[in-house]
Structure 1
Amino acid sequence: MAAKLLFPRVHIQNFSEASAVEPHWGYADRVVPCTNDKGSCEYLDTVYKSHDLGMYYTGIFWATIGSILVVWAIGRHFMQSQPSGVQLPTEAGEGVKEKGSAWARLQKALSVYARQCLLPDAARPIFGRVTRTQVLTLVVLTSYLTLWSFIGITYKTWVTPVKKMPGVYNTRTGLGPWSDRVGVLAYALTPLSVLLSSRESILSLVTGLPYQSFMFLHRWLGYIIFAQSALHTIGWCIVEIKLYQPQPTIGLEWIVQTYMIWGLVAMILLTLLVILSTPWAIRLTGYEFFRKSHYVLAMIYIGGCWGHWEQLKVFLLPGLIVWLIDRAIRFGRTALLHYNFLPSGHMGFRAAPANITFFKDETNGDVVRLDFDHPQDAWDVGQHFYLMFPESSIWQSHPFTPLSQPVYGADTQRHSYIFRAKKGETKKIAELSEKRSARMKDHEESHEGLMPDARLSTVLTGPYGERTMRDLPTDSNILCIAGGTGITYVLPVLLDLASRPQSVDRHMSLIWVIRRRGDIDWVAPELAILKRKCPNLRARIHIYVTRAIEDVDPSVPAKSEKAIANNCATEIEPASTSQSSSSRASLSSAISLHGVSKAELGLNHYQARPALNSLVPEFIANTVMGRTDVFASGPGEMISELRSIVAAANKGGEVWRGEDRFDVRLTCDDRLEW
């Protein structure tokens, strides 16, 4: 029975004359002794030896990954436990930071040198908007896999006679063992690919990196698996259809075997996975179709691989288990987050009712703000939640960063989100919000009937992502840069710092680029809080309006920038009657609005965009002490520009000499807006 099951895979072995069976892990058993011709026996020796070495190499590969993660975790633990430096007071009352030990300065200088070289974007036409660090990781991984693909293969040709067919010969080469090797490596990479795509990421727990930072490697690892699978398929097609004789008999008998049918199914599914994951396919079909089809095709692909080569299920089963665990944890976290008291007084699942604020924008897409209170523990600044809206669809959820500041120790947390509706789910939510806001407005004007429902049911999953404030030194200078709705990522950083005692030497600044002056209303309550704190925080808020001409009435005389800034201050926070004139002046000076009154300067446009290549170095030059942390969120062009600017601002030699101002770090949220 065993011989019959193995026969399709080991057709050149003679089972009838064998005296023993030799097991090989991950491969078909070998019968011994070999009673074929000398060339065929040597070829079989090569096949099994190459496979056994390949299995050892996959073990070494996973041992290397495990060792890297262990070393990373240990190093991360010790780096977090070491103080960044000692701040000593001077007679003038200003802090002076010690240079620290030579070892500490060397570590810092090396990280600065690495940031200077690896932070900018890599080849954008090929890899997109990713840093050189990510591409370097991909190159190292690809080189490592290439090394294991060719080592231990016997590069030789054997010409062997075909039994009972005089004058007909088979050509056996190292192509078969090499094709098996790349196929084994493709199987071995499957669980790693699943790990890299998990939202409940084990890798994030070990490394501290947010799960989305692994998506680039997940995508390109999929391309590597596709290339390996294609080479494996092409290699064996050449062997079975060209090198083995007689043809086409051998080829036709080979292609109809069950394992080959499953192999073709797996290859077709993998090809569809790659095609549907390309940027043009995602734009054509929509992100939600891509995401759902990706899940389904990936699971069926793993099943196809199982049917093709069951002996290597040791690599397939962990991938399925990791995926199922990820799904179960997501479901469990959502259930626990919404398991609260119901209006009836009983406990059960309850969605969070969010108040809607609607901002109409027919040109660029409407903007929706959601505000609600929810009983839960505080998240960390920088983290985000996935929001699902049951009234629209229970099959879609989207990541949004809370605009509000988490309050540690509070039983209930305030959630505030803003997002721009473009298409798909967010477009439907915007249309629903517009209708409910309109009904609410009509009710307020008529004062008739019951109050209409102007809320939207929301289901949360999370939090996810990095914790931007956890390892932030007390003396670091903060520069926040945002474009449009990217303000939700950077504003909580300033709100969190505004609630803490600050060093007198710390500098903070916010640069926010918006299309219209009315966009300030999105976050007016939060800006009002910052404005009150600005004089004490030694912070400035700079707002750049890029399409101010759309807000200007030509019949109204142009105002000066100072007048506009004062008006903006009034819009954000009406002056209290209890405030002194000097206090109101300081509040107004804390915020500046750019790009409104350019016509007064004789220019023929009203646009103003921040020159980041000069603003960032200027901010760094004006700092007193400590490093600079730049937090940014916005369009891809802005993030790419900032990476180059921040990389150029890093100077390892100056940091080695104790000049921490040249230690500039960038933390950005470059996820696409939904």
Structure 2
Amino acid sequence: MSAAESLEPHWGYAERVVPCVNDAGTCEYLDAVYDAHDLGMIYVAILWATILGIVFVWSVGRRLWPSPRADAVMSAKAEGEVLTASRRKDLRLKRTLAAYSRRYLLPDAAKSIFGRITRLQVLILAILAGYLLIWTLVGIVYKKWVTPVTGYTDLFNIRTGLGPWSNRIGLLAYALTPLSILLSSRESLLSALTGVPYQSFNFLHRWLGYIILIQSSLHTIGWSIVEIKLYQPQPETAREWITQVYMIWGVVAMLLLLFIFALSTPWGIRLTGYEFFRKAHYILAMVYIGACWAHWKPLRCFLLPSLLLWFLDRGARLIRTALIHHQYLPENSVGFKAVTSRLARFPDNENGDVIRMDFEHSQEAWKIGQHFYLCFTEGSIWQSHPFTPLNLPEVRDGVVAHSYIFRAKRGETKKINELAAKKLAVTADATTPVILQGPYGESITESLTLDVNVLCVAGGTGITYVLPVLLDLVRKPASKDRKIELIWAVRRKDDVRWIEKELDVIRNAAVSHRIGVNIFVTREQSSTNTSLPDVKTTEKETDVQEARSTSSASLEGAQTAPAADVQKIGGKDYNRHPNLAEVVNNFVENTVRGSTVVYASGPGGMISDLRSVVASCNSGSRVWRGDERFDVRLACDDRLEW
């Protein structure tokens, strides 16, 4: 470098000495190295142009051709608008394609590898991985050069395409870092542009991290082979290489990445706890980006946006929290004020106590299906957890009521349960301050028209996701041909007390709106006396098939509708659950007309089963022939992904 006539700049790489004064083989190899890097920068630009182009087209498309809202459809029908033949054909084609895609892409992929993830998400991952593989391999000169070592007559350097290829794969790892941050953000720019909830990107964030780990490992292995084996003399060359400052930071970055990976595995999370993993993940990721900056500063153009995106996400969270809690204080001043929530406790020594939390807050109403992150300040101000409100979002006298239920097992929920037990032992009204973040997620009922049948399936506290849907249907006009049903699996018969008030509202509208409510008790063998008002209790300790057939009785035509039909399917078949395939198939086949939406929330196994069942109910050929009953959608709240 000191004897160079001039230095040729290369964006993202070291400057090159020109003209080349080495031997012919070395000069040809350096041509290949720099050309491969310059092509790599172009390929990265194409990669990001593709990503941004897809997001742009998606964002524009959802605004130019939005999905029809239920209120808009009802208004159009009220005004007597008639769809043209071409419009009807377009809608039928759209539903047909959607039915075909759900049939083949909705079920889980290989659960042993990907977990409880749909085939659609795995397909998107495969497309991304294939796209990256192309840019990893093209534009590399695959050739070997044997060049002399200065000062030696018997030693030679072996130069191959391994060096340029290692550079390329390292470049791609750097270029993907901002995308990984985008996919992990709660205040997601991608969600704002595409309308896809932030939690739907968690799978791609996790697997993109695995891809970056593989790329970084191959980059490290490739250059280690070059510097330790192919370059001479040894071990002097290797020692001089590894002691350089940029290489020390490269080793640090690689170790940090391996540590992040180890902590993010299911074994690492179980060993250290989820909260430790989450906090350590934030810190290690930022230190890793800093180490990457120190390792190869010319590529900071990818690292600076990553840091900015992360800080924007954190800043947006703080701002939203501050705005939602900016209230008038008792001393006639304005400032930050936590919400005082009321606690109710439902003891359950076997499965874990359940806490119900109710409070009112001055804010705008959220949309059905959205959730909030709650921070219990009497537990820890450094933790917040996602919860879905079980009530309708209605503004009354300037405030909105919130109601939540959760099972206390460990961590923060266990602390709140212990706190509630202590307070309720000395007073009838236990309270605790809560800090809200949100709302997050998407509306799940905007396109729910009167001709769409609704099946709600919930397991345990997953009832919070589907209950607002039913309460929303109750307050809207009834449709004589619409079928509505709730399937709720609980562990004990007394668990229905969690939502006793809300069940009473549904009971009062059961006849007028043709709502069937079926509750299955799955972990209770012996008879349990309960004084629930207006609840019909049928305890059957026969086989699960008999309990299912009994529970499917419709409430239509009843003079006084019971709040719920509670069926026990424990007995000899302890820990059994409803046959979801039979429940969903019977529901779809017995509808009069119209498509069906299945709203579901509960354990991961239940969601996986429902994906397969709903996929099998979809039939593109029948939908194309006009039978819309076999256009079945699934809206699920898989809490395991949170």
- Interval containing the TM-score (normalised by the shorter chain): over 0.9
Query: 2-side partners of 1:478 and 1:111: how far apart?
Result: 18
2:580 to 612, 618, 622: 612
For each residue in 1:296-315, what CA deviation from the matched residue of structure 2 results, as whole angstroms up to 9, or x when unmatched?
00000000000000000010
Matched, 1:469 2:442: no
CA distance in structure 2 between the aligned counterparts of 1:80 and 1:609, rounded to whole angstroms = 39
Query: Aligned AA for 1:633?
Result: S
For 1:353, what is the secondary structure of its paired residue?
strand
1:594 aligned partner: 567
The equivalent residue for 2:516 is 540
Q: 2:228 matched to 1:241?
A: yes
Which of the numbers 513, 525, 528 marks the counterpart of 1:549? Answer: 525
RMSD: 2.6
Q: What residue is the counterpart of 2:630 in the other structure?
A: 662
Q: Which residue identity does 2:438 align to in structure 1?
A: G
Measure, in 1, the Cα distance between the counterparts of 2:453 and 2:60. 28
> What does residue 432 of structure 1 align with?
419
Give the 5 Å matches for 1:187-198.
Answer: 187-198=174-185
1:591 Cα shift? 2.8
Measure how far apart 1:154 and its partner are.
Answer: 0.2
- Pair 587,69 (structure 1): closer, same or farther in 2 beyond 3 Å: farther
Distance 1:497 1:36 in 2: 79
Provide the C-alpha distance between the structure 2 equivalents of 1:350 and 1:607, rounded to a whole number of angstroms. 44
- Whether 1:178 and 2:165 are equivalent positions in the alignment is yes
Rg larger in structure: 1
Distance 2:69 2:251 in 1: 57
Shift of 1:38: 0.1
For the 8 Å contact 1:87–1:96, the answer to whether it is kept is no
- Structure 1 residue 618: Cα displacement: 0.9
Is structure 2 residue 627 aligned with structure 1 residue 651? no
Letter in 2 for 1:47: V
Distance 1:387 1:236, change over 3 A: same
Counterpart among 175, 194, 204 of residue 207 in structure 1: 194
Distance 1:673 1:241, change over 3 A: closer
1:317 aligns with 2:290: no
Distance (Å, rounded) in 2 between the aligned partners of 1:26 and 1:588: 71
Give the conservation status (yes or no) of the 8 Å contact 2:536–2:564: no
Q: Which of residues 597, 604, 607 in structure 2 aligns to 1:639?
A: 607
User: What is the deviation of 1:142?
Assistant: 0.5
Q: Which amino acid aligns with 1:652?
A: G
Residue 502 of structure 1, CA deviation? 2.9
Distance (Å, rounded) in 1 between the aligned partners of 2:75 and 2:374: 46
Give the letter for the 1:259 counterpart: Y
Q: Aligned AA for 2:584?
A: V
**Change beyond 3 A, Cα 1:24–1:409:** farther
Is the CA contact (8 Å cut-off) linking 2:474 and 2:513 kept in structure 1? yes
Q: Any idea what the Cα deviations from partners look like across 1:80-122, whole Å, max 9, x if unmatched?
A: 26689989999xxxx9998953333222211111110000000
How far apart are the structure 1 equivalents of 2:210 and 2:311?
23
SS at match of 1:487: helix
Whether 1:454 aligns to 2:430 is yes
1:25-424 to structure 2, matched below 5 A, reads 25-80=11-66, 100-407=87-394, 411-424=398-411
* In 2: Cα distance, 1:512 partner to 1:272 partner: 41
Contact 2:373 2:387 in 1 (8 A): yes
Secondary structure in 2 matching 1:548? coil
AA at the equivalent of 1:638: M
* Counterpart residue type for residue 476 of structure 1: V
Instruction: Name the CA distance, whole Å, in 1 between partners of 2:562 and 2:437.
Output: 40
Q: Which runs of 5+ in 2 are unaligned?
A: 540-554
Distance 1:281 1:29, change over 3 A: same
Q: Deviation string for 1:51-71 (max 9, x for gaps)?
A: 000000000000000111122
Corresponding residue for residue 527 of structure 1: 503
Q: Say whether residues 1:24 and 2:10 are aligned partners.
A: yes
How many matched pairs?
619
User: How much does 1:208 deviate?
Assistant: 1.2
Q: Cα offset for 1:609?
A: 2.9
Contact 1:89 1:96 in 2 (8 A): no
What corresponds to 2:550 in structure 1? none
- TM-score after normalising by structure 2: 0.92
Distance 1:205 1:510, change over 3 A: same
Q: Between the two proteins, what is the percent identity of the paired residues?
A: 56
Compute the TM-score of the two structures, normalised by the length of structure 1.
Answer: 0.88
For 1:492, the equivalent position in structure 2 comes to 468
Q: Look up the match of 1:12.
A: none
Runs (4+) of structure 1 exceeding 6 A deviation are 83-90, 95-99
Equivalent position of 1:6 in the other structure? none
Q: For residues 128-166 of structure 1, give each alpha carbon's deviation from its aligned partner in whole angstroms, at most 9, with x where no partner exists.
A: 001001111111111110110000000000000011111
Task: State the 1:50 CA deviation.
Answer: 0.1
